[in-house]
Amino acid sequence: MNQTAVQKTEPVKQKILVLFAHPVFQTSLLNKSLLAALPDESEITLHDLYECYPNFMIDVAHEQELLRNHDVIVFQHPLYWYSSPAILKEWMDLVLEHGFAYGSEATALKGKKFISVVSSGGDVQNYQGERDIRSLLKPFEMTAKLCNMDFLPPFITFAGLKIKANNFDDGVSENYLQQQVELYRQLIDDLLNNQIDSSGLSNLNIINEHYQNLGHD
């Protein structure tokens, strides 16, 4: 009885795998800023797919081993044509094999947390209505659910183009990117310490709202 109480108050750190895909990272601003905020912890593995597999020759066994060894899987990428850059799709096609990731016998990913960290060039207004960001990312959500993963709403950073152009207005302030970096740092910290629970977030469209609500409180 006493022992479990100790475990609850001091949870073991979760291991996080960041699967990062950006074909022109050298010109990136949002993702560069976000990744710079990743704490230097041994529990966090940053896996840069375009850097590892410029020939798209993905090492499936290695990738599956990485998945097995982590508790939280993060897909981090810019939004290209309402989806991910090509290599991440290739990665999903090859690595999430039947029998490993899904199927009646598959348990490898069961219960692991899944979250998308997506950056976009357009403003938040561009992703409403029929282009609602959560519904655009539905394929990732469905994938995570088919793999019996614990799906968390995505973390979105908007307005990459305006920020690059230094073209700020009421919707996008000069501090916007800095605030996003702070939220990202907090999100990673919560994931690391297992402080986040999907059941309490099911009514949220994107996880950003959760932190903004906390801020308002």
Partner 1 sequence: MTEAFVIASLFLGLAVLLVPLANRLNLGSVLGYLIAGAFVGGILTWVAPMMGMDTDHLLEQLNHATEFGVVLMLFIIGLEIQPSHLWRMKTTILSAGGLQVSLTALLIMAVAMFGFKLSWQMGMAIGLTLALSSTAIIMSTLNEKGWQNTVGGKASFSALLFQDIAVIPIIAVIPLLAVSVPEATEHTAHGIDITAHLPTWLKPLVVVGAIVVVYVLSRYLINPLFDYIARARQKEIFTTAALGLVTLIAALMSLIGLSPALGVFVAGVILSESEYRHELEADIEPFKGLLLGVFFMTVGAAFNFALFAAEFGLIVGLTLGLIVLKASVLYVVGLVLKLQRVEHALFFLALAQGGEFAFVLLTLAVGNHVIDTSIADTLRIVVALSMAITPLLFLFYEKAVLAQMNKTEEKSRQADDIDESNRVIIAGVGRFGQIVARLLQYNQFGVTAIDNNPDMIDTLRKFGWKVFYGDATRMDLLHAAGIESATAMVIAMDDADKVVDLAAYLVKHHPDLKLFVRAKDRTIAYQLKHMGIESVYRETFESSATMGEQVLRHLGMRAYQAKRSKLRYQQEDEILVKQLAASYMEEDESGHVLRVQEQLDNLAQVLSNDQHVKQYSLGNDSGWDESTLIEDLGNKPQD
The residues binding partner 1 (CB under 8 A) are 23-27, 50-52, 54-55, 121, 160-162, 164-165, 167
Residue type for position 199: S
Strands 150-151, 113-119: pairing is parallel
Give 51 or 65: the residue with its C-beta nearer to partner 1.
51
Q: Do the Cβ atoms of 159 and 172 come closer than 8 Å?
A: yes
Measured CA to CA, the distance from residue 217 to residue 139 in angstroms comes to 33
- Across-strand partners of 20? 48, 76
Quote the least distance from Cβ 141 to partner 1, whole Å. Answer: 26
Quote the least distance from Cβ 35 to partner 1, whole Å. Answer: 13
Quote the least distance from Cβ 27 to partner 1, whole Å. Answer: 6
User: Which H or E element spans position 74?
Assistant: strand 72-78
Region at 70 (left for phi over 0; alpha for psi -120 to 50; beta for the rest): beta
Quote the least distance from Cβ 103 to partner 1, whole Å. Answer: 29
Helices marked H in 82-197 — which ranges?
Answer: 86-95, 133-136, 138-146, 160-164, 176-192
Task: Name the DSSP letter for residue 149.
Answer: -
Quote the least distance from Cβ 79 to partner 1, whole Å. Answer: 13
Measured CA to CA, the distance from residue 160 to residue 126 in angstroms comes to 12
Give 50 or 75: the residue with its C-beta nearer to partner 1.
50
